[in-house]
Amino acid sequence: MEINGTTLDDPSDPYLIAEIGVNHFDIGEERDTPPLDAAKRMVIEAADAGVDAVKFQSYSADSLASKQSPAYWDTEQESTETQYELFEQYDDFGRQEFEEIATWIEENSSVDFLSTPFDFEAVDYLESLIPAYKIASADITNHPLIRHIAQKDKPILLSTGASTIGEIDDAVQVIEEETPNPELAILHCILQYPTDLENANLAMIEHLNRIYPEYTVGYSDHVPPDEGMVTLLNSVFHGSRVIEKHFTLDKSIEGNDHYHAMDPNDIRTFRENLDHIDRTTGLAKKQPIKAESDSRIHARRSLVAAQDIEEGEVLTRENLSIKRPGKGISPTMIDEVVGRTVQHEIKLDTVITWGDL
């Protein structure tokens, strides 16, 4: 799979998406700046930290949720009681704003601009702005929306939180009906905000890789970041080639998606640790490497004279010892050496060679 010329198949360099979502509203309020300016600042800092893409969310509260739709997040972290009430706070970032931020990103950054559309109108106005579509986990059974997205014939990132394999199969089939051989990434996801460590179930990534070998598999994460970003590293270990995680500049901001988001330092930690893992992984075939050349000689052992040995004397176990370095006859050959005679005197502690026998 490719997104904007980037191939998503390198286990040492997964495609990392900073999910800004709607966090730029809170960042803007915190810094007393308009959401658009806050969004630009977040893009700059995410790009500097090492992401491949930034992603927003394109929705209207009126088309997304009924006014009675209950919360499905941790209300101790985000106290809003209904989905409509929460989404309404962040839905005045529309077509005009997305066109402006997309143009600005193209002119001022090397990262890709992405957004998740939650309705047909958003799918249509994003078509000329994004290199790939993201389909949210909650819309995996929204076949009309999936079909409309698939008809745009762009790469698709499909999140699978709270989904059965049957539901994933059905969504994939809808995409395949509209786009034969689609550019598709299937993202493991747990639809719990935040996701408890024991609920992450990253081994499911391997299951998705087995079931969908023809497609790219990735991970959309909602686990609060740990000091070493081990959750994301573990997802790579299990086969994730695309990673999406919420992004913020201030984890202390209350509510919405800040409390389980990564910040620029987390991104740098992840990239540095991933590089460390890659550098230490090396060859897949066990063999001596160049750096071990001296060790193979000096740290191994040879047959050594355990006493002064006279010319013509027969070698026995008693007049042989096994010591470093390994420049002489290997101890593996001791049974071939015992019983042979020496051609000349060998002093105590001298490494024995074949030429001595």
Would you state the pLDDT for residue 79?
75
Chain centre to alpha carbon of residue 80: 32
**pLDDT tens readout for residues 291-308:** 999 999 999 999 999 999
Place 135 in a pLDDT band, splitting at 50, 70 and 90.
Answer: very high
Domain extents for the chain? 11-281, 290-356
Q: What's the whole-number mean pLDDT along residues 146-166?
A: 98
pLDDT above 80 for 83: no
**pLDDT tens readout for residues 213-259:** 999 999 999 999 999 999 999 999 999 999 999 999 999 998 778 99
- Provide the CATH number for the domain formed by 290-356 in this structure: 3.90.1210.10
Query: Rounded CA gap, 179 and 38, in Å?
Result: 37
Would you state the pLDDT for residue 133?
98
pLDDT above 70 for 199: yes
Q: What's the whole-number mean pLDDT along residues 336-344?
A: 98
In this prediction the pTM is 0.89
> What is the pairing mode between strands 302-305 and 15-21?
unpaired
Query: Rounded CA gap, 169 and 186, in Å?
Result: 11
Sequential DSSP letters for 178-239: HSSS--EEEEEE---SSPPGGG--TTHHHHHHHH-TTSEEEEEE-SPPPTT-HHHHHHHHTT
Strand ranges inside 250-347, DSSP E:
302-305, 320-323
Q: Does domain 11-281 have CATH number 3.40.50.2000?
A: no
Would you state the pLDDT for residue 107?
96
Query: Rounded CA gap, 132 and 117, in Å?
Result: 11
pLDDT above 70 for 134: yes
Would you state the pLDDT for residue 84?
78
